[in-house]
Chains A and B, each alone.
Chain A
Amino acid sequence: MLTRRPRPIPSACLVVASIFFACPARGAGPSEAEGDRFFREKIRPVLEASCFGCHSATAARVKGGLLLDSREALLKGGDTGPAVVPGQGAESLLLQAIRHEDGLEMPPGKPKLADPVIADFERWVNLGAPLPGSNQAVPKADEARRHWAFQPVKKATPPSVRDATWVRNPVDAFVLAKLEGRGWKPAPPAGREEWLRRATFDLTGLPPTPEEVEAFVLDNSPDAFERQVDRLLASPRYGERWAQHWLDVIRFAETEGYEYDRPIPDAWRFRDYVIDSLNHDKPFDRFLTEQIAGDEVDPDDPDCRVASTFHRLGPVRRNAGNPEFALSRNEVLTERTDIVGTAILGLTVGCARCHNHKLEPIAQKDYYRLQAYMAATEEDDISLVPPAEKAAWDVASAKSKAALAEITKKVKKATGEKKARLKAEMEALEYAAPTPLPTIAATKNDFDKRTPIHVLKRGVWENKGEAVGPRPPSILVADALPELPADVRDPRTQLARWLVAPENPLTPRVLANRIWQHHFGMGLVKTVNDFGTRGDRPSHPELLDWLAASLVEGGWRLKPIHRMLVLSNAYRQSGHSPIEAEAARDDPEDRLLWHFRRRRLTAEEVRDAMLAVSGRLNLKAGGPSVMVPVDPVLTKLLYKPTQWRPDPSQDEHDRRSIYLLAKRNLRLPFFETFDAPVLLTSCARRESSTHAPQALELLNGKLSNDLAAAFAKRLAHESGGNPGRTVDRAFRLALGRPPTPEETSLSLAFLRDQSPEEFALAVFNLNGFLYVP
């Protein structure tokens, strides 16, 4: 993510990191036994109860960079100077803080510690502040090894609960046990209309049709819910919806960003590959392996080649007269390494690029060892046409480029009218350039060009340190595990194998948590891209592990997990709970799931739902991405405005949002306004903001007004012009339910003197349309 940082950083600043990895000698002190026992009995319990919440490796967020869980950390302090000076109890800053001297108040927001406790701390510091267990080699790593996320996945037996009738499947047992622990009851079940709207958007990203809702409401068969879930999971719309989640995480876009923002050749093939893989419920370990190492594991399989586009998806800065190729190569490798950490491992490995990770047990060396798996990875544009055709294209393309270069020169020199004329000619030439040939933007190994990987001091590409070979992060493997040879012939296969290996607990946990997040609106671990020691701790650790284990046992197939979650009673809860007053106070984030979290539709869902409701949605699947017309001010912001070429066919404009071109330098304003991701860094979770430009977009925007007109036309057709039927149908189509009497009368009053188009537009602006209950 970062490029070079040429300013030197003095070694004194790496203090905190060095604590983690160095092995400082411990000064002579009182007898080990006495001091250690005193610490264990008197000090440690207080630290655990009052300090470690903010000042330990297990803290959710370490405050001020100060750790109190190792002696070395204590001596070094947070930013400068020590928190304690052994032997000087009274003067140590730690003592001042707990005595509330000089305006320092620790622990904050709590009563002062009892005087005898403070006296114990003073005595302990005077004893030399012994802190047993903190002076072995790499003490920090040992401690970090105990971090929950690095433990093996354990599949616990679902807990027993008092209200066993509520447990539809094991998921419910885990959820209910926590609720009962608080003395809370789950929310009553949602109505069938609500549930189907929820499940349909969740699994397909589209609203249910009124006919689907009606059939389900009337379906008395015992497996009515199951059949709905099976129907939705079997729909090709499922892959289109869930692909977007993965594309968000791996910051998929179809252009390279930076000034040229050139297309990644036929990047849509990768998007289709993801959709198809999900629709076929391809085992996720295979799915990951193909993306990481598709070109190595099965080079003859076009699918595997397309999967390897994975490594091409980061922003790429092409050299514009810039001689620093090594810098550019370093940027590319950085992108490729960081995304593996974030997307698959849920670890912010990128922080270790410049220095040992301050807060995670990731050494700088670990970072470059991870990068070493990609040392030979190069772009490989595979043409899909016969060589003769390719040769002819090359000739035509060279000719076109030469003509363009010539006219560009002329444009530069010309002025006034002549310039405008030449510019128009130039644009015409750009349009007329031969269309790119069908291509796979694959990757390959080029061992002759392999970049020797070194630890780079401060992350600066010119400051080469120790050479390293591929190896997984130390925290997750045995100390004795050697590096692979730097020139190993199948480096990314080795990486993929480890990523999905049984001894790596992170991959299935991170994945299970992502699935949970999309169904329930929030992960069991809220920080879905960060399972490190600074990340959130799971609200239901046993449930997370149970899901991760079930996922692996089930052959890494997602659909059975979806099925279980969507059919659970936890998912079936209403958004309203009778215990809301109490629960909202004690658990405002709904971590314990005492009710179902309502969610706003994502940008793509709002657009797709407007298309679906108005009857204009074109469900054509797959193929090259579509460009829609946009305001010229946006194309003018492009380096080459001719890069944006709206499809001539309106039908194409009406396709699902996932098939619209994801261009880094031209995001559609509609998507931007409704919190679509920036396409440049991994997006773990969509924001859901509420602001006036959203209202302006939906009220005045061209898309909503065009679709409101189509919606009105559809309503007129389906209701025969009868106002009562128009209102009823509009609500059933757009909100998945009939209108209430009040809604009906308000709507009818409006329709008496206002146009059906304005009514249709109003419906698009209703909370009931924009939110899933």
Chain B
Amino acid sequence: MSPDIRHPHSRPTRTRREFVRDAFCGFGGLAFASMLQEEQARAASPDPLAAKAPHLPAKAKSVIFLFMAGGPSHLETFDPKPLLNQLDGQVRPKEFGEAKYQFVQRDARLLGSKRTFKKYGQAGIDVSDLFPETATCVDDLAIVRSCHGDMVVHSAAQYELFTGRTTPGFPSIGSWVLYGLGSESRSLPSYVVMPDPKGALEAGQPMYANGFLPAIYQPTMFRGGDRPVFNLDLPEGVRPEKRRKTLDLVRDLNRATLDPRDEEFSARINAYDLAFRMQTEAPEVLDLSAEPRETLDLYGIGREPTDDYGRRCLLARKLVEKGVRFVCVVSGGGPGNQQWDAHDDIEENHLRMAATTDRPVAALLKDLKRRGMLDETLVVWGGEFGRSPEAESGKGRDHHNLGFTMWLAGGGIKGGTVVGATDAIGLRAIEKPYHLRDVHTTILNQLGLDQHRLTYPHLGRDERLTFVEGKVIREIV
């Protein structure tokens, strides 16, 4: 596939000078410090969540990942294939090669798309009629039509999308980013996942988790409703003034025996101050009731089917505004058809799923832009894979990892661009193929993080998000 493939644990070296520096000192140039120590050294404070300077000049400060769980079809959204419509009902011509699916068999018939595409924006980019609102933002989007991953089943593909590995137990990108950059908001959790209230995903909780990174980098899972954070509320019947006194007692008793040089215990005392601050300041940010009517309308809040995803997108904006580093807003949860997992009927499923997300997604982009936040906020849209050109059970599509579409916007990304291409039936990424780890590398790059320096020792290896090594999608940065 890609010609630019290297050894799992090495990277290309560009100049002789770099070679020598790397060969002798590792990637950072700090000869005797392990990379972990380097990571710690970047932080000015012993607090592992303190904001750290990035490795490289950064374009983005925060990431909002709009995770379309279950795998949205590229063929129905951003990657029109006229030939597929012509071949509708036929067996895939041999010249397109082989593909392994989860369910559909070799004798499956190609399925044309019923969607119509129109050209939008100054660049005249194709977007289907599933996303009329998102289409109006196309000049801000960099659409990567040549994404590919390694796995064709949900759980493993979701692990790869979030952690760069196809098995559970590795840190998610949100945890890595938090580890790399620390937090700019001390009254809010710094890595937030807002699951779809409709239910679970195949890869479950471990997909978002911190893996072997310290627990401090774990995600905070939001519940639905206006009080989404666990333990942020006082227990029933406890008044804040009363609890403040308890906190004062904790502080006074802890100080009574404190050696002032004791950094760890001092940090513990500070953690309680911070906890109290979170308790008083966070609810204000999390409360949407004070938002202007116009904003609520923009996101489609207060009407169906956009209310839920709209609320979560607006909340994401508010969190990022307060310095939250990584927010994942999940669309899809519960049994397959409640996700973008359109095995039975691509039309029914995608019309429904698109209707719940199109307006909120566009609103998020417009809202970020008008507030001047889009430049520093990287928005990423996509699922764990795309869908098959072949039909499953007549009018559905199976999972498909060999070629699919994701888009990125804001955070220094060149809008109004289309990169890469799948073949004429959308089976395989053939032009400028980009692996999921390349998407990861690009996200890190926009945040000013170098994939080779963002490492953590685990079981004898300096592990990193991109595992084999990814490349930055140069066309869009």
**Residues of chain A whose beta carbon lies under 8 Å from any beta carbon of chain B:** 1-10, 13-14, 53-55, 61, 63-66, 77-81, 83, 93, 96-97, 102-104, 106-109, 257-259, 261, 315, 317, 320-324, 331, 342, 348, 350-351, 354-355, 358, 360, 411-412, 527, 529-530, 532, 534-535, 631, 633-634, 636-639, 641, 664-667, 669, 672-675, 678, 680-682, 684, 687, 689-697, 699-702, 705, 740, 742-743, 746-747, 750, 754-755, 758-759, 761-762, 765-768, 770
Contacts and interface: CB of A to CB of B under 8 A. Distances in A.
A762 B250 contact: yes
B214 interface: yes
A64 B168 contact: no
B205 A759 contact: no
A677 B429 CA distance: 38
Contact of B204 (A78, A109, A259, A527): A259
A669 B7 CA distance: 38
Given A83-B23, A637-B205, A754-B242, A109 B200 contact: no
17 contacts: A1-B169, A2-B166, A13-B6, A80-B12, A80-B13, A631-B230, A633-B223, A637-B200, A637-B204, A638-B204, A675-B215, A681-B458, A695-B272, A699-B231, A767-B254, A767-B258, A767-B265
B280 interface: no
Contacts of B166: 2-4
Contacts of A106: 24
B469 to A, nearest CB: 10
Interface stretch (B137-145, B146-154, B369-377, B404-412): B146-154
A597 B316 CA distance: 42
Contact of A321 (B31, B103, B195): B103
Contacts of B223: 631, 633
Q: Is the interface of A mostly helix, strand, loop or mixed?
A: loop
Contact of B150 (A6, A13, A759): A6
A81 B17 contact: no
Query: Which of B6, B221, B459 is the most central at the interface, judged by chain A CB atoms within 10 Å of its CB?
Result: B459
Contacts of A680: 167-169, 206, 211
Interface string B241-252: 011011101101
Contacts of B112: none
Nearest to B265: A767
B165 interface: yes
B281 to A, nearest CB: 12
A673 B206 contact: no
Given A3-B166, A702-B235, A747-B253, A109 B7 contact: no
A97 B216 contact: no
Given A79-B23, A638-B204, 15 more contacts: A3-B156, A14-B7, A53-B32, A54-B24, A63-B26, A63-B31, A79-B12, A351-B461, A636-B333, A667-B205, A691-B49, A693-B275, A699-B247, A762-B246, A765-B250
Contact of B206 (A53, A257, A411): A257
A689 B215 contact: yes
B10 interface: yes
A306 B47 CA distance: 44
Interface in B9-36: 9-13, 16-17, 19-27, 29-32, 34
B2 interface: yes
Given A699-B247, A750-B245, A689 B206 contact: no
Given A61-B34, A696-B278, A636 B200 contact: yes
A638 B169 contact: no
A291 B189 CA distance: 42
A677 to B, nearest CB: 9
A259 B154 contact: yes
Contacts of B12: 79-80
Contact of A637 (B11, B221, B247): B221
B202 A639 contact: yes
B122 interface: no
Contacts of A682: 459
A666 B200 CA distance: 12
B212 interface: yes
A608 B359 CA distance: 49
A664 B168 contact: yes
A574 B226 CA distance: 49
B468 A5 contact: yes
A565 B28 CA distance: 41
B283 interface: no
B217 to A, nearest CB: 9
Nearest to B153: A322
Contacts of A639: 200, 202, 204
Contacts of B250: 762, 765-766
B150 A5 contact: yes
Contacts of A348: 459-461
B477 interface: no
Contacts of B290: none
Contact of A322 (B22, B102, B215, B230): B102
Nearest to B204: A665
B155 interface: yes
B257 interface: yes
Contact of B48 (A527, A634, A636, A689): A689
Interface string B364-385: 0000000000000000000000
Contacts of B351: none
Nearest to A639: B200
A694 B271 contact: yes
B99 interface: no
Nearest to A603: B215
Given A701-B231, A702-B235, A754-B246, A9 B8 contact: yes
Interface in B140-184: 150-156, 165-169
B20 A96 contact: yes
A626 B358 CA distance: 43
A79 B13 contact: yes
A55 B23 CA distance: 9
A758 B184 CA distance: 32
B192 to A, nearest CB: 12
A673 B460 contact: no
B17 A104 contact: yes
B32 A697 contact: no
Contacts of A742: 256
Given A63-B31, A103-B17, A696 B103 contact: no
B388 interface: no
Nearest to B169: A680
A527 B10 contact: no
Given A64-B22, A64-B26, A673-B215, A259 B249 contact: no
A691 B200 CA distance: 28
B459 A258 contact: no
Chain A to chain B: the 8 pairs with minimum beta-carbon distance, closest first: A13-B7, A680-B169, A78-B23, A108-B31, A348-B460, A259-B202, A695-B275, A665-B204
Contacts of A755: 242
Given A2-B167, A527-B460, A699-B275, A664 B206 contact: yes
A701 B247 CA distance: 14
Contacts of A695: 271-272, 274-275
B302 interface: no
Contacts of B25: 54, 63-64, 108
A2 B168 contact: no
Nearest to B21: A104
A690 B272 CA distance: 10
B356 interface: no
B103 A743 contact: no
A746 B48 contact: no
Contacts of B205: 634, 637, 665-667
A762 B253 contact: yes
A530 B460 CA distance: 6
Given A320-B102, A691-B271, A743-B256, A534 B204 contact: no
Nearest to B7: A13
Contacts of B218: 672-673
Contact of A358 (B9, B103, B268, B344): B9
